[in-house]
Amino acid sequence: MAGDLVKILCASTNDIESSQDDPVAVRVAETTILPPSSEAFVPCFTDGDHDAPLMLTTQDDRLFDKSLMVTPAVINTGRASILVANPTSKPEALYKGKHISSAVPLYRCSSTLCTTWSDQHRPFIGKVIPSPSTIHDISPRIVALSHAEVTDDQREQLAALFYEFRDRISTDSYDLGSYEDSEIVIKTTTNSPPTRFRPPRIPVKFQKELDEHINKLLRAGRIVESDTPWVHNTVLVKKKDGSLRVCFDFRPLNDVTIPDHYPLPRIEDILAKIAGHKYYTTLDLASGYMQLLLSPESQEKCGWVTHRGIYQFVYLPFGLKNAGAYFSRAMSRILAGLESNCLAYLDDIIIFDPDFPSHLLSLRKVFHRFRTFNIKASGKKLTEIARSHITFLGHEISGSVYSPADRNIRAIQDFPTPTTIKAVKGFVGMANFFRKFIANFASIASPLYALFKDKATFVWGIEQEEAFQRLKHLLTSKPCLAFPQDKEFFLHTDGSQNAVGAALFQNSSQDDHQLVAVGYFSKALSDSQQKWSPTHIELFAIISALRFFKATIYGNHTTVFSDHRPLTFLLKHNKTHDNLTRWVVELQSYDVTIEYLKGSSNVVADALSRAANPQVRFQDDTPDADDIIEFPVSINSVFTPAFPKQPTLCCLGPPKAIHPYDALVEQKRDPFCSALFTFISSQRFPDDLTDEQKRNWITIAEHCVVRKNGCLYYSNPPRPSTSFKFDRLVVPEKLKEPVFLAFHSSPSAGGHFNWKKTLAKISRKYFWPHMVEDIFALVRACDACQRKRPNRTNQELLLPVTSGAIFDKVYVDLTGPLHITEGGNRYILAMIVHFSKYVIACPLPDCSAITVARAILNECILKFGVMTQLVSDNASYFKGDVIESIGRFLRINRYFCTPYHHEGNGACERVFATFHPMLRIYISENQLDWDQYVSACTFMYNTSVHTSINNTPFFLVFGRDPVFNIDLLIQHDSQRQTLSFDESQLYLQNLVASLHAAWRAAARFNATRREAYKRQYDRTHLAPLSIKVGDLVYLRNLAPSVGLSQKLAFPWLGQFRVIEVNPPHLTIISVSSPQSVPKKVHMNQVKLCNLLSGPVFTTPWLPEVEDLALSAAGATDQPIDGYNHTVIAQPTPASSPDDSAPHSYYPRSRSRRTSL
């Protein structure tokens, strides 16, 4: 019967005649377990006695919630077995007495015969089909079918299908499905959460809308309240329609996320497979990422903070590093087995079939999969249904023909006819870029080249027009215009005063060193856009091009080339002007890298940006950000108007000049200055002041005067060196930070001097209450000042190294390269036995890993046995595979010293310090024979008494003193005595006893010397730093960049965050590059960062545009729990290494500041 056309009885509740009787309840007669992905007959009964047959009408909503489906059936005797399907991946139970459906008398249903396709394997289970009147009333609310290229009868079948699966079509942005077949796991390189962010300043008019958005997400189950330490910042962006878009800065999480390289299908393969069919339908999932369930541990990593508290995502948010890979893997599982008629590229799904019945069946199968996996399609984007031609992935598909969409080549097709020599040169320069792909290029372009001759008159004739049109045609056809491949793209963009342009390239499939064009883009700028700054125009060119080519490049890395160098730093900065924030939000949704390209090399994009006719406005068919990215999104760069997560101060360049009128305006706006104006004019105090605060007001106000320009000044008494008074401008809150930066950080008047000099310079012209403490705190927290100071006053206490037996611990190091000897040697390898101080040294011809390993094996291990521990520095020849293999085979524990900390291998360093002078004495002047004295120097060293063990290393190893040549000359044969067997046994006993005694004595003496040296060391060094996990530190710059002057390099690098403390070592990671490899350093190589405990100024300095916008919106500061806004850092003498803290002024609480 499979594939046969049959007729079944169908009915709808809308066809039921009105009645006074209520529907009859149908309940489960026996408890039944429904296995996953199966169907079962469930015994059921009806309430009451009914003689007439009953027809099932409405399924219980609770079964819908579980995705269970009840098959339509007729009940004749009050009892029946009803077929129920469970398409989910887990078993479901229907308990006895549970209500599953309602029924009405069959004679009251107006029946109709409906044609459908049956299948003996029952691939899907249909629901009751509504009547045509219901379809026409309901279907427009679900999906628009006006553009479907079908007959009226076929359109009704489509409407019935979409009505049947209306629960799989989303009605709004919060009506989402829940894919729970496999949870998404975000794998990271570290389990340490990033630093928490300070909540943003939220305009009052946006707070209500943000609260509504959060409440809707909570009701939809997409987020939950949380106390996760993985907290990310929230940024609000206005859409074009004035509504709010909520964005999240997931960069800290993305930096530590392990990449997921799940492959995307090749666009060329997709297009080749879908071509040649008659009917096409495209589907787009509703906020697709937000339908994928996260694992519990991954949910904790997706936290975000608002003025209401902390929340975490339960489902996958947009903007995570591997979101595309997670989604592609899920879609492959959902649509598995349907590849013959359905393909997915990320969230774009296309269904294709040769005839309408097959297409209807394919649509039903896809929606049945949606119901099985509980996901939903977007109703708003469900517009391309049953079309014979369609645009998909940037290509037009019609029957067996597919070609690049016209929009990709419109920029060349609409290239205006040149009217000047300069315009002709621009076009020819662009065409010349592709001359390798155009046969007889020089011949075709010769009429255009003729215009470039000296003293030639510009005449645009028939020959020039024909050459121009032919080149345009060749540029928009193969092989110039290539088919996009699944590999990296190169996007060349440029912006001029009138237009923006771009060209998309890839490496040729025949030659990886040759670029071929994939598409072109250009767009004229409006009158208002032409007034933008060059940075805005160039970034707009990039954004417009990415929007235009989104379907082609999405999912592949794209390198963007721009001739505007500042854009290359855009993605690396945490602060971005708020006018650019909306575009930076979009950049985060692409895998892009921005690089600089000289304008002379960017010929194609430059020609396109200057070719657009400013009088002709192309209709902007590039989608807005709302169409490209689903809520919520992540951004790559945000503007933080106040202090960043850990406040630092850096050189920002000279701020704009403060005009008297600007100062007056800010004084009038400032509460403190405004109150002073009122007090001077009316002698009226602000409300709620104590007597002490009133006395302070009088003290300040009696020195304040209003000058002719209307500004408020603080009049100082005469200085000792002068006989006249001088006035200082009273600085309002908003201008305090720019004044400080101008006199401390700017290259014109700053210099990053200490707080006293900065205070003296500022106080000559400006005044505000408590400026001493403010300036002290700001200078103390200045990042550049902390990194430029070379001094380091604290050292870790000495931790002596111990060893319990001979050859328990061996240190190894290499010195060289020395002058090459006649034997070809250039290095000396030294191995020191820690307990006995016995030295093994040998010359080496090179420092390769295999040479070093062979020397350790032959000179030490095969002569003295295997050591327990082998300690070395981090040189590559000590980390080679050969040494590692020997260590694993012989069970040797490998230890490596901290980089740039020579004390970790101090034993070897001390041996070389002794060896070098010894060799210097004995070798010849030409230094060609030093390798002949290495063995002799080693013997001399081992036979000398070592001060740390009060014995010779030779004796502790061999249990005897060596026989020297002088002994034989003086004592003749007395050193060589022949022993009998009995004497040999006694000698052996005495030797063992003397060795043990010598070892114990050496250990005791060595311990005594270690303790004495530790007391001396600790007494001459200051107390160590108290460093804990999470602290920010600077790292000593021990290896300045090659080619740079060490004297001009910063002595400290940073900032770094401490992620592990294991005294005397720390593990740190860069704050600016959290994805970098953590470093293990010694505590002596770092110093703590001085940070502000809170904002020094209550009102931060904001760019004028943002400040006006926030002021107009009534923005207010929103504090976060745990961040102290009331107390600033107290200046103490220990906090300022170069100067003592101010003693004439006392730190005060913020409440005292606001009272003055």
pLDDT at residue 122, rounded to an integer = 35
Compare 525 and 335 and report the one with higher pLDDT: 335
Distance of CA 550 to the CA centre of its chain: 21
For residues 815 and 954, state if they share a domain: yes
* Packing angle, helices 132-142 and 152-164, rounded to 10: 70
Residues 6+ apart with CB under 8 A from 877: 814, 847, 848, 849, 851, 852
Residues pairing with 154 in the sheet? none
| Mean pLDDT estimate for the chain | 72
pLDDT at residue 1024, rounded to an integer = 60
Compare 691 and 2 and report the one with higher pLDDT: 691
pLDDT at 1127 over 80: no
DSSP 8-state secondary structure symbol assigned to residue 799: -
Distance between CA atoms of residues 1093 and 436, nearest Å:
63
For residues 395 and 411, state if they share a domain: no
551 touches 264 (CB < 8 A): no
User: 330: domain CATH number?
Assistant: 3.10.10.10
pLDDT at 417 over 60: yes
Distance between CA atoms of residues 426 and 43, nearest Å:
80
User: 571: domain CATH number?
Assistant: 3.30.420.10
Asked if residue 1134 belongs to a domain, the reply is no
pLDDT at residue 564, rounded to an integer = 79
For residues 858 and 754, state if they share a domain: no
* Packing angle, helices 771-780 and 755-762, rounded to 10: 140
Cis peptide before 1016 (omega within 30 of 0): no
In tens, the pLDDT along 966-1024 reads: 666 666 555 555 544 555 556 566 666 665 666 566 666 666 666 665 666 556 555 56
DSSP 8-state secondary structure symbol assigned to residue 646: S
pLDDT at 875 over 60: yes
The residue behind tokens 């079939």 is: 353
- Burial readout 340-351 (b: 16 or more C-beta within 10 A, e: otherwise): ebbbbbbbbbbb
Distance between CA atoms of residues 674 and 691, nearest Å:
20
pLDDT at residue 80, rounded to an integer = 84
Helices (H) then strands (E): counts for the chain: 35, 48
Distance between CA atoms of residues 1036 and 806, nearest Å:
37
* Structural domain count of the chain: 6
Phi, psi of 468, rounded to the nearest 5 degrees: -65, -50
Express as a percent the part of the chain with pLDDT over 70.
65
pLDDT at 1135 over 50: no
For residues 413 and 375, state if they share a domain: no
For residues 415 and 495, state if they share a domain: yes
Asked if residue 750 belongs to a domain, the reply is yes
Express as a percent the part of the chain with pLDDT over 90.
2
Distance between CA atoms of residues 203 and 1046, nearest Å:
48
pLDDT at residue 600, rounded to an integer = 60
For residues 621 and 671, state if they share a domain: no
* Packing angle, helices 441-449 and 421-432, rounded to 10: 170
The model's confidence at residue 530, banded by pLDDT at 50, 70 and 90, is: confident
In tens, the pLDDT along 331-375 reads: 888 888 888 889 888 778 899 988 998 999 999 999 998 888 888
Nearest to 292 by CA among 348, 232, 222: 222
pLDDT at residue 348, rounded to an integer = 81
Compare 824 and 1002 and report the one with higher pLDDT: 824
Our CA dihedral for 553, 558, 560, 561, rounded to 10 degrees, sits at: -110
Distance between CA atoms of residues 841 and 149, nearest Å:
88
Average pLDDT over residues 949-976: 69
Asked if residue 34 belongs to a domain, the reply is yes
Strands 869-872 and 893-896: parallel
The model's confidence at residue 1085, banded by pLDDT at 50, 70 and 90, is: confident
Compare 411 and 1139 and report the one with higher pLDDT: 411
In tens, the pLDDT along 238-294 reads: 666 667 778 787 878 888 888 887 877 776 677 767 777 888 898 888 888 888 899
Amino acid at 1141: A
Alpha-carbon distances, residue 725 vs 278, 716, 722, 919 (angstroms): 92, 6, 8, 75
Nearest to 1070 by CA among 1099, 1044, 1021, 1032: 1032
pLDDT at residue 663, rounded to an integer = 79
The residue behind tokens 């400290």 is: 1052
Phi, psi of 27, rounded to the nearest 5 degrees: -125, 165
Distance between CA atoms of residues 733 and 673, nearest Å:
9
Query: Residue 516's CB: how many other CB atoms inside 10 A?
Result: 21
Strands 726-730 and 766-767: parallel
pLDDT at residue 679, rounded to an integer = 79
For residues 387 and 431, state if they share a domain: no
For residues 472 and 414, state if they share a domain: yes
pLDDT at 206 over 50: yes
770 touches 1145 (CB < 8 A): yes
Distance between CA atoms of residues 773 and 759, nearest Å:
10
Our CA dihedral for 98, 370, 634, 595, rounded to 10 degrees, sits at: 170
Nearest to 638 by CA among 585, 564, 567: 585
pLDDT at residue 811, rounded to an integer = 87
Distance between CA atoms of residues 752 and 786, nearest Å:
10
In tens, the pLDDT along 379-409 reads: 887 778 888 888 777 677 776 555 666 665 6
DSSP per-residue letters across 1085-1144:
GEEEPP--SS-SSSS----HHHHHHHHHTTEE----TT--SSBPPPP-GGG-SSSPPPSS
Average pLDDT over residues 137-152: 67
pLDDT at residue 315, rounded to an integer = 92
For residues 9 and 124, state if they share a domain: yes
What stretches of 747-861 show up as alpha helix (H) in DSSP? 755-762, 771-780, 783-788, 849-856
Asked if residue 715 belongs to a domain, the reply is yes
In tens, the pLDDT along 52-101 reads: 778 887 788 788 777 788 877 778 777 888 888 887 777 888 888 888 88
In tens, the pLDDT along 593-627 reads: 888 777 666 655 665 565 554 443 433 444 443 43
The residue behind tokens 């100082």 is: 716
For residues 923 and 844, state if they share a domain: yes
Asked if residue 755 belongs to a domain, the reply is yes
DSSP per-residue letters across 281-322:
EEEEBTTGGGGEEEPHHHHHTSEEEETTEEEEESBPPTT-TT
Token couple for 419: 């009217």
For residues 579 and 622, state if they share a domain: yes
Average pLDDT over residues 744-767: 79
Average pLDDT over residues 460-489: 76
Residue range of the domain that includes 283: 179-403
- Burial readout 1086-1095 (b: 16 or more C-beta within 10 A, e: otherwise): bbebbbbbbb
Token couple for 356: 């309408």
pLDDT at 457 over 70: yes
Asked if residue 969 belongs to a domain, the reply is yes
For residues 416 and 516, state if they share a domain: yes
The residue behind tokens 């040189």 is: 875
Strands 515-524 and 499-507: antiparallel
pLDDT at residue 312, rounded to an integer = 92
Asked if residue 307 belongs to a domain, the reply is yes
In tens, the pLDDT along 1046-1074 reads: 566 677 787 888 888 877 778 888 877 76
In tens, the pLDDT along 853-868 reads: 888 888 888 888 888 8
638 touches 574 (CB < 8 A): yes
pLDDT at 893 over 60: yes
Q: Which of 926, 961, 990 delimits the end of a domain?
A: 990
Average pLDDT over residues 129-149: 56
Average pLDDT over residues 871-893: 79
The residue behind tokens 């339960």 is: 314
Residues 6+ apart with CB under 8 A from 140: none
Asked if residue 485 belongs to a domain, the reply is yes
In tens, the pLDDT along 321-333 reads: 888 888 888 888 8
User: 725: domain CATH number?
Assistant: 1.10.340.70
Distance between CA atoms of residues 836 and 565, nearest Å:
62
Chain length of the chain: 1156
Distance between CA atoms of residues 66 and 84, nearest Å:
12
Average pLDDT over residues 14-33: 68
Nearest to 608 by CA among 535, 502, 525: 502
Q: How far apart are the first and last CA of the chain?
A: 92
745 touches 782 (CB < 8 A): yes
The model's confidence at residue 314, banded by pLDDT at 50, 70 and 90, is: very high
Distance between CA atoms of residues 117 and 944, nearest Å:
101
The model's confidence at residue 550, banded by pLDDT at 50, 70 and 90, is: confident
Average pLDDT over residues 176-204: 76
DSSP per-residue letters across 859-901:
IIIHHH---SEEEE-S-GGGSSHHHHHHHHHHTPEEEEPPTT-
pLDDT at residue 744, rounded to an integer = 82
pLDDT at residue 261, rounded to an integer = 79
pLDDT at 635 over 70: no
